[in-house]
Structure 1
């Protein structure tokens, strides 16, 4: 009888579904895909904790994982123009839950008031890491280091003017690296998203300066405001996050990847962006330095 019960238990265990890994994305318009079709694309695939119908980069990530045969339960909490400190102060009740993974993306200049100063980012990441670790001591947190903004690079008098397009992304990355080292608890690393943009430029895949027009055969990584990303830029962001979170080579998605086809990318453009994401991950952003 005991043996029969043991077999029944084994059969029931085998039949029970494996729980999907939960992942939360916290960020602003750089996460929700502002000024591009990515904003609301695939919203039915993810859970927008604010109920605003956002798909964004988290929905692209979800679609990539589906095509790779992976199971993630994806949620997001985003608000345009806001910092991580703002999410802590205003959306704590939405995000203070048990998560397996969390992706954190701060304001584009780290501090909205003190451009390039990582102090607020360091404090916010530490507080959020403790918050999530209290719910799940095994939580894995990734920081999303974003891109250089042409409006702050090429216009005279801007914080990074005259320093070249790579400078802002490298400065922002340095701030996130400091935040990751200071927090420790659950923070696993920094995704080199901004430096992947620089990699694309240096490889000739993308245009460096949208203010002088987009070179033939090169991709525009930024939207019309030269601040937010274009669909190509958000796609590259999602590829880097997919690779770093899952450990899979972004190139496994292939040149006919479904989301890229829906966005109207050519197979050659899709393959090129996947290759850039692979290079950025392999070099930890070094190709963009």
Structure 2
């Protein structure tokens, strides 16, 4: 028997199915927490829309409901990438729900959405990277005792040197860093591990943080430090929060660059693009980034060509 949910809350049928789907994503598909949050947000929005239309559970949602839900975003001029992501989430949920017997048919099987299109990622120039690092050093001289700036320097150097995702960087443990081989072992999407080389400046910044910054945030003393495996920690001694690291980087990017780049991912894009521009084999870049398919990595060849074309048009007298 279905009880009505208070306004704004999902019914027991909707919330229960969503919780089971989250468990499937987390424990059977090993999806990242960021991916799970995106699915949860999109599906919660879908279920609330369906519930407002009188549906009591996933089994009552129709293809027309799904199309109407997406059409609402189209009318609000949502980005094609957003609509494509939401449609993909609905298809994934109903494919799983059909397999689990939660619904008797898959209403999303024929759901189509606008193609997301390929937008080239923003990339820092070599001068931008130097400006970012110089800005961090300038602030360190002004605040020599601030551990956060040592952390920010290590984060920026490591993201750029190894092309890591911010989630991979936050998941690093001290045992994952090999000073002798100058490598870090990271756990990427799907819990797949890979070993990535890092440069001498990144290793130096990492050691400066571990020796000079990290200990300052262990208010409980050396005993607490000994049981915390994380390389990057927060002011309370716990593993660093991704959002805080992004905010630290955004402040530096805003002060040091003029192109509007933000977030941690710009360092990953920049590392890959600079390697391609420097002549690195595309498969080596794929391995470094941890991409499952070469097609994902090949966007950086387009970025490289696009940057070359812009430089040509601005510099060649007969362009």
Q: TM-score, normalised by structure 1?
A: 0.21
Larger relative contact order (CA 8 Å, sep ≥ 6): 1
Higher helix share: 2
Query: If you compute each CA radius of gyration, which structure gives the higher value, 1 or 2?
Result: 2
Q: TM-score, normalised by structure 2?
A: 0.20
